[in-house]
C-alpha cells in the first residue's frame, strides 16, 4: 500500500495528528525544562534531586514513621505522605458514613429529621472549606479544656486543647494477627459470595451472605482484637505535671482537619446519596413491597444496590477532593506533604522547582490510584457490562 493510500485512511490521519500533537507537547515541555535549568545555572541556583539525601534538621510533632531531626529530607517527605494519607483515609470513611446517614435522613417522612438534615447540607455546602477548617481548629479544638481539666474517655483516653491522648500497645504482634484474621475473613467472604451466586443460579436460593459477612469480617476480627487487647501490655497516658505523658497523642491539628474534612465532605456525599436513592425507579420499590419484603430489606437488597450505580462516579470525585483538600491542613500547621515538604523543606533548601514538581507528582499519583480503584469498583457493580 502506498503512502498516499495510507493517508487517505481516516484512522491513519487521526493517528498521525495525535502523534504530532503529543510530540509537540513533549518538545514544548523539554524546552521549558531546559530553559529553566539554564536560567537557574546562570543565577547560581542549585538544581537536581541530591538535596533529598541531606539531613532535614526539622522536628515534626506528629509522625508515625520513626523520623527524627537527623533523618534525611526524603524521610521528611515520607512523613508528609503518611500523614496526608492517614487524615485522608479516616476522613473518607467518616464522611461516607455520615453522608450516607444524612442523605437517608433527608428522605425521611419525619419533617423534623428531614429539616435538620437539609439544614446541615445547605450550611455545609455554602461555607468555604478553609473557613470550616479554621472554625474547627480555633472555635472547637482550641476551646477545649487544658490538660489538667481534660475530658476523660473511660479513664484511658483524654481530650484537651493539646490533642487526644490514647493508650499505645507496647507490643504490636497481637494486632498483626488481627490484621491477618481480617484479611482471611475478607477472602472467605469473597468465596462465600461466589458460592452464593452459583447456588442461586442453580437452585434459586442464595446463602445468607450478609449474616456470614458480618461474622467473618466484623465479629471474628473484633474477637481477635479483644483478645489482643487483653493479652497486650499498654502504655496508658497519665497526668504528670502540666500535661499527660505516655500513650500516643493525636495532635489538635489532626483532630481539627479530620473533623473539618469529614463534616464538610459529608454534606456533598449526602446529596449524592439522596439523588442516587431517588434515581431508583419507583416500580422497583413497589415490586419489592409486592413480594413481601420488609422496609429494611427493600433498602438493603433493592434500593442501595441500584443506587450505588448512580452514586459511585460522583462519590469518586468527592474522595479525590478529600485527598486534595487535605492540603488545607497547612493553614493550621498540620504536618502533611504541603506543610512539611513545600514549607519547611523548601525554606531549608530553596529548590522550589524540584519540590513543587515532586509534590504535584505525588498528588497526581495518589489521585490516579484512587480513581483506578473506584473505576474498577464501578465496573464491578455496573448493571450493563461491555
Summarised one tens digit per residue, pLDDT across range 132-160 is 899 888 888 888 888 887 887 777 788 88
231 and 169 Cβ atoms separated by less than 8 Å? no
The tens digit of pLDDT for each residue in 88-105 reads 999 999 999 999 999 989
C-alpha cell at 164: 487526644
Q: Please give the class, per CATH, of domain 53-170+233-380.
A: mainly alpha
Residue 219 has pLDDT above 70, yes or no: yes
User: Is the distance from CB of 160 to CB of 152 less than 8 angstroms?
Assistant: no
Q: Residue 385: its pLDDT value, please?
A: 46
Residue 306 is placed in which grid cell? 441500584
Give the pLDDT score at 44: 63
Share of the chain above pLDDT 70, in %: 94
Indicate whether 241 pLDDT > 80: no
Q: For residue 65, with 0-12 CB atoms within 10 Å meaning exposed, 13-18 middle and 19 or more buried, which class applies? A: middle
Q: Which residue has the cell 481477635?
A: 224
Question: Can you give the pTM of this predicted structure?
Answer: 0.80
Q: Where are the domains of the chain?
A: 3-45, 53-170+233-380
Distance separating alpha carbons of residues 46 and 52, to the nearest angstrom: 13
Amino acid at each position: 500500500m502506498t503512502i498516499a493510500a495510507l493517508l487517505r485512511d481516516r484512522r491513519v490521519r487521526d493517528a498521525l495528528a495525535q502523534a504530532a500533537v503529543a510530540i509537540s507537547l513533549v518538545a514544548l515541555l523539554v524546552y521549558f525544562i531546559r530553559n529553566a535549568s539554564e536560567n537557574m545555572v546562570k543565577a547560581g541556583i542549585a538544581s537536581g534531586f541530591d538535596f533529598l539525601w541531606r539531613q532535614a534538621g526539622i522536628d515534626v510533632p506528629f509522625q508515625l514513621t520513626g523520623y527524627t531531626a537527623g533523618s534525611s529530607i526524603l524521610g521528611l517527605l515520607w512523613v508528609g505522605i503518611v500523614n496526608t494519607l492517614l487524615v485522608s483515609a479516616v476522613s473518607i470513611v467518616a464522611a461516607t458514613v455520615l453522608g450516607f446517614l444524612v442523605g437517608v435522613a433527608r428522605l425521611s417522612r419525619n419533617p423534623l429529621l428531614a429539616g435538620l438534615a437539609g439544614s446541615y447540607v445547605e450550611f455545609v455546602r455554602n461555607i468555604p472549606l478553609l473557613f470550616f477548617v479554621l472554625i474547627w481548629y480555633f472555635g472547637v479544638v482550641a476551646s477545649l479544656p487544658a490538660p489538667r481539666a481534660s475530658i476523660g474517655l473511660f479513664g484511658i483516653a483524654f481530650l484537651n486543647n493539646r490533642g487526644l491522648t490514647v493508650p499505645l500497645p507496647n507490643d504490636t504482634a497481637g494486632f498483626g494477627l488481627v490484621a491477618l484474621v481480617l484479611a482471611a475473613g475478607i477472602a472467605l467472604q469473597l468465596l462465600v459470595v461466589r458460592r452464593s451466586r452459583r447456588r442461586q443460579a442453580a437452585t434459586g436460593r442464595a446463602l445468607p451472605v450478609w449474616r456470614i459477612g458480618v461474622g467473618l469480617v466484623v465479629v471474628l476480627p473484633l474477637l481477635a482484637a479483644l483478645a489482643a487487647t487483653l493479652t497486650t501490655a499498654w502504655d496508658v497516658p497519665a497526668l504528670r505535671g502540666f500535661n499527660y505523658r505516655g500513650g500516643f497523642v493525636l495532635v489538635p491539628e489532626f483532630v481539627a482537619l479530620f473533623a473539618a474534612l469529614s463534616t464538610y465532605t459529608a454534606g456533598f456525599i449526602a446529596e449524592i446519596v439522596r439523588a442516587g436513592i431517588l434515581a431508583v425507579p419507583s416500580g422497583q420499590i413497589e415490586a419489592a413491597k409486592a413480594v413481601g419484603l420488609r422496609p429494611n430489606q427493600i433498602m438493603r437488597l433493592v434500593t442501595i444496590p441500584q443506587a450505588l450505580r448512580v452514586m459511585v462516579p460522583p462519590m469518586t470525585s468527592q474522595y479525590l477532593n478529600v485527598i486534595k483538600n487535605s492540603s488545607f491542613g497547612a493553614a493550621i500547621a498540620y504536618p502533611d506533604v504541603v506543610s512539611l515538604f513545600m514549607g519547611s523543606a523548601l525554606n531549608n533548601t530553596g529548590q522550589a522547582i524540584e519540590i513543587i514538581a515532586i509534590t504535584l507528582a505525588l498528588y497526581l499519583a495518589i489521585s490516579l490510584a484512587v480513581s483506578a480503584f473506584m473505576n474498577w469498583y464501578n465496573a464491578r457493580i455496573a448493571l450493563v457490562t461491555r
